[in-house]
Amino acid sequence: MLLSVDRSETAETRSLSFDVIAAVAEREGVDPTEIEPPEYESLYAVVNPEALDALFAPRQDGSDRISGRVEFTFNGYHVVITGDGEVRLREDSS
Protein backbone atom coordinates (compact mmCIF):
# COMPACT_ATOMS: atom_id res chain seq x y z
CA MET A 1 0.00 0.00 0.00
CA LEU A 2 1.31 3.44 -0.89
CA LEU A 3 0.79 6.57 1.14
CA SER A 4 1.05 9.96 -0.50
CA VAL A 5 1.49 13.24 1.29
CA ASP A 6 -0.31 16.20 -0.26
CA ARG A 7 1.99 19.20 0.04
CA SER A 8 -0.39 21.68 -1.61
CA GLU A 9 -1.41 23.48 1.58
CA THR A 10 1.91 23.37 3.40
CA ALA A 11 4.56 23.57 0.70
CA GLU A 12 5.63 26.99 1.97
CA THR A 13 5.84 26.02 5.64
CA ARG A 14 7.08 22.42 5.74
CA SER A 15 10.20 20.88 4.32
CA LEU A 16 10.23 17.78 2.18
CA SER A 17 12.32 15.99 4.80
CA PHE A 18 9.62 16.77 7.39
CA ASP A 19 7.01 15.38 4.99
CA VAL A 20 8.92 12.08 4.96
CA ILE A 21 8.90 11.96 8.75
CA ALA A 22 5.21 12.96 8.86
CA ALA A 23 4.30 10.21 6.38
CA VAL A 24 6.07 7.57 8.47
CA ALA A 25 4.46 8.94 11.65
CA GLU A 26 1.02 8.75 10.04
CA ARG A 27 1.64 5.15 9.03
CA GLU A 28 2.89 4.30 12.51
CA GLY A 29 0.01 6.12 14.21
CA VAL A 30 2.27 8.47 16.17
CA ASP A 31 3.07 12.17 16.24
CA PRO A 32 5.96 13.21 13.93
CA THR A 33 7.93 14.36 16.99
CA GLU A 34 8.01 10.72 18.13
CA ILE A 35 9.93 9.56 15.05
CA GLU A 36 13.32 9.70 16.74
CA PRO A 37 15.87 7.34 18.25
CA PRO A 38 15.98 5.01 20.00
CA GLU A 39 12.56 3.70 18.95
CA TYR A 40 12.84 4.96 15.36
CA GLU A 41 15.76 5.41 13.02
CA SER A 42 16.94 8.98 12.48
CA LEU A 43 16.40 10.39 8.99
CA TYR A 44 20.02 11.56 9.15
CA ALA A 45 21.10 7.89 9.36
CA VAL A 46 19.64 7.30 5.90
CA VAL A 47 19.82 10.56 3.95
CA ASN A 48 21.00 14.12 4.50
CA PRO A 49 17.72 16.01 5.10
CA GLU A 50 19.13 19.37 4.01
CA ALA A 51 20.42 17.87 0.77
CA LEU A 52 17.06 16.20 0.18
CA ASP A 53 15.24 19.50 0.68
CA ALA A 54 17.68 21.32 -1.62
CA LEU A 55 17.46 18.64 -4.30
CA PHE A 56 13.77 19.33 -4.87
CA ALA A 57 13.74 23.04 -4.02
CA PRO A 58 12.81 25.48 -6.79
CA ARG A 59 15.65 26.45 -9.10
CA GLN A 60 17.41 29.79 -8.68
CA ASP A 61 15.13 31.30 -11.32
CA GLY A 62 12.11 30.23 -9.24
CA SER A 63 10.94 27.48 -11.60
CA ASP A 64 9.90 24.13 -10.15
CA ARG A 65 11.94 20.99 -10.50
CA ILE A 66 9.45 18.55 -11.96
CA SER A 67 11.70 15.68 -12.92
CA GLY A 68 13.73 13.30 -10.84
CA ARG A 69 13.12 10.92 -8.03
CA VAL A 70 14.85 9.67 -4.92
CA GLU A 71 14.26 6.32 -3.25
CA PHE A 72 15.51 5.01 0.08
CA THR A 73 14.48 2.80 2.97
CA PHE A 74 13.54 4.49 6.24
CA ASN A 75 12.12 2.81 9.35
CA GLY A 76 10.90 -0.22 7.44
CA TYR A 77 9.32 1.73 4.58
CA HIS A 78 10.46 2.15 1.01
CA VAL A 79 10.24 5.91 0.45
CA VAL A 80 9.84 7.39 -3.04
CA ILE A 81 10.03 11.14 -3.52
CA THR A 82 9.31 12.61 -6.94
CA GLY A 83 10.35 15.96 -8.38
CA ASP A 84 6.88 17.39 -7.82
CA GLY A 85 7.26 16.88 -4.04
CA GLU A 86 5.11 13.78 -3.71
CA VAL A 87 6.17 11.44 -0.91
CA ARG A 88 5.07 7.82 -1.24
CA LEU A 89 5.62 4.99 1.23
CA ARG A 90 5.24 1.26 1.02
CA GLU A 91 6.36 -1.35 3.46
CA ASP A 92 9.88 -2.48 2.69
CA SER A 93 9.89 -6.09 1.56
CA SER A 94 13.66 -6.63 1.64
User: Do residues 82 and 67 touch, judged by C-beta distance below 8 A?
Assistant: no
**pLDDT per residue as tens digits for the range 52-91:** 998 888 888 888 777 889 999 999 999 999 988 899 999 9
Number of H-type helices and E-type strands within the chain: 2, 4
State the residue range of the domain holding 80: 3-91
**pLDDT per residue as tens digits for the range 9-27:** 444 568 999 999 999 999 9
70-86 residues labelled b (16+ CB within 10 A) or e (exposed): beeebbebbbbbbeebb
Angle at 9 between CA 15 and CA 87, to 5 degrees: 50
CA distance 77 to 26: 12
User: Do residues 17 and 55 touch, judged by C-beta distance below 8 A?
Assistant: no
Whether the model pTM is above 0.75: yes
Mean pLDDT along residues 25-45? 96
Higher pLDDT, residue 3 or 85:
85
**According to the model, what pLDDT value does residue 13 have?**
62
Number of domains in the chain: 1
**According to the model, what pLDDT value does residue 25 have?**
97
Q: Is residue 8 over pLDDT 90?
A: no
Rounded-to-10 torsion of CA 40, 42, 47, 51: 130
